[in-house]
Amino acid sequence: MIWLIPLLLILIVIGIPIAFSLGFVSIIGILFTDPSLLINLPRRVFSGVNNFTLVAVPLFILAGELMTKGGISKRLIDFSKTIVGPLPGGLAMVVVLASMFFSALTGTAIAAAAAIGGMMIPAMKKEGYDIGFSTSLVATSATIGPIIPPSIVLILFGVIASVSIGDLFVAGVIPGILMGIALMAYSYVVGRKQNYRSSEQRATVKEIVRGAKDAVLALLMPIIIIGGIVSGIFSPTESGVVAVVYALLIGMFVYKEIRMEDFWPILLNTAKTTAAIVFLIGTASLFIWFLSFKRIPNQLIEMMGGISDNPILLLLIINIVLLIAGTFIDTISAVSIFTPLFLPMILAAGVDPIHFGIIMAVNLTIGMVTPPLGVCLFVTASIAKIKVPKMFRHLFPQIALLIAVLFAVTYIPEVVLFPLEFFSNR
C-alpha cells in the first residue's frame, strides 16, 4: 500500500484539489484492502472535525478579518515607522517589523501580505525603492505569520499530533523573531547599498511614546492571548473568543473603523475560508486513519533503515522533502499530509514533537514564497501590478536567509525549546 503516497502526489501535481485527492486515495486504499470498511467512511470524516480545539480556527480567522478591517494594521505600520523608518532601508524594515506585529495578531501569512502590502508597496514605490525588492520583501515577511502565535498551522499540527497547542505557541516566538531579524538585516544592507533613505527625521522619544500609545491596544493583543494561555486563565480555543471580542471592541468602539455594513463580507470571508479548511481536515482524518490502519508510517521507517535512527540525517531528509513539497502544496494541506507520515519517525528518533512542529511550520511557510505555488507572491504581485519573476533577484536571497533560520531551528533545539522551561507545565 506504500504506492498510495506516490499516487497522492501525482493527483496533487496534475491539479486535483488536495482535499479531494486525500479522500480519493483513502477510498482507493480501502477498496483494495476491504470494501466493507467503506461503511466507516462518514464516521471517520466526522470524527476528524468533531474536535473542540478546531473551534479556534474560525475564531482566529474571524479575528484576523476584524483586525484588518478595523484599522489595526495602519497603526502598527505608523508605529513601526517611528522606530526604524529613518534608518537606511527604513521603509523596508518597517515592512518586516509591521509584519511581525501583525502576525502576532492574525497568525496568517496571506492576511499579513494583503494588509501590509496594500499600504507599504505604494509608499516604497514613492520613495524610489525597487518594485521587485518591495514586493518580494512584503511576501517573505508575511511568512512570519504562521510562526508567531496565534497560528492556525500550529493549531492544526497540535490537533493531528496530539500535543499542547499552548506549548507550540510559546515555542514559535523565538523562531518568528529570528526570521524577522534576518529579513531586517537584509533590508538594512540593501538600503545602505542602494541608498534607500527616508526623508523623515529620526523620531524623538516623545514621538515614539505617542506612536506607542496609538498602537498599544493592538500590541496588547498577543500579550493577552499568550499570557492567558500560559497562565491557564483560558485555553488556546477560548483565546480565539477573546481575540474576536477584543478585535470587535477596538474596531467598532475605539478606532471606529468597523461599521454594520462591514459585517456581512467579514462573516462571508470567514465562512468560506473555514469551510475549505474543515473539509480538508475531514478528508485528511480519513487519510490518517487509513495510514495507521495499514501501518504505512512503519513501512516507511523500515524502508529508511538506519536513517530513521539518526535524528540529524532524518531531519535533513524531512526538511528537503518539505521544502520541495511546499513549492506546490499549500501549508494547511501539507501539515495534514506529512504530519501523520513523519511523526512516528521523529518520535522513534527521539525528536521532541513540539520541536518538530515548529520545524514543519517554518519549513512549509517558506513554501508560501517559493515558486511555482508561492501564494504570497501572487498576493503581493497583484497589489504591485507586476509579474512574479520580477521579484526573483531579491526573492532568492531572502529565501536563503529563511532557510538558514530553518536549519538553526532544526539543529539547535534550544532555539525552540528554551522558552518552554519557563512557560510550560510539561
The pLDDT value recorded for residue 136 is: 94
| C-beta of residue 230 within 8 angstroms of C-beta of residue 150 | no
* Three-class DSSP category at 210: helix
| C-beta of residue 31 within 8 angstroms of C-beta of residue 38 | yes
Say which DSSP state 186 is in. H
| Residue 170 scores a pLDDT above 80 | yes
Continuous segment of H or E residues that includes residue 49: helix 41-49
pTM over 0.85: no
Q: How far apart are CA 95 and CA 87, in angstroms?
A: 13
Give pLDDT tens digits for 110-126: 777 877 787 788 878 87
Residue range 283-298: average pLDDT?
77
Residue 291 grid cell = 495510514
* Bigger pLDDT: 145 vs 183: 183
Residue position matching grid coordinates 517559493: 370
Say which DSSP state 326 is in. T
Give pLDDT tens digits for 215-233: 777 777 777 777 777 777 8
Give pLDDT tens digits for 379-417: 888 888 888 888 999 999 999 999 999 999 999 999 999
* Three-class DSSP category at 233: coil
The pLDDT value recorded for residue 240 is: 80
Say which DSSP state 403 is in. H
Domain positions in the chain are 4-420
Q: Work out the number of other CB atoms within 10 angstroms of the CB of residue 269.
A: 16
Considering the chain, what percentage of its residues have pLDDT values greater than 70? 89
Q: How far apart are CA 296 and CA 292, in angstroms?
A: 7
Q: Cβ contacts of residue 313 below 8 Å, gap of 6+?
A: 307
Residue 409 grid cell = 531551528
Backbone angles phi, psi at 249, to 5 degrees: -65, -45
Q: How far apart are CA 363 and CA 357, in angstroms?
A: 10
Q: Cβ contacts of residue 288 below 8 Å, gap of 6+?
A: 48, 160, 336, 340
| C-beta of residue 130 within 8 angstroms of C-beta of residue 194 | yes
User: 313, 421, 409, 297: which is closest to 361 by C-alpha?
Assistant: 409
Cis previous bond, 35, omega within 30? no
Long-range contacts of 221-229 (CB under 8 A, 24+ apart): 221/67, 221/104, 221/105, 221/246, 221/247, 222/104, 222/105, 222/148, 222/149, 222/150, 225/149, 225/150, 225/169, 226/149, 226/169, 226/170, 226/173, 229/166, 229/169
Lowest mean pLDDT, pick from 36-45, 71-80, 246-255 = 71-80
* Average confidence score pLDDT of the chain: 82
Give pLDDT tens digits for 341-374: 899 889 888 899 999 999 999 998 898 888 876 7
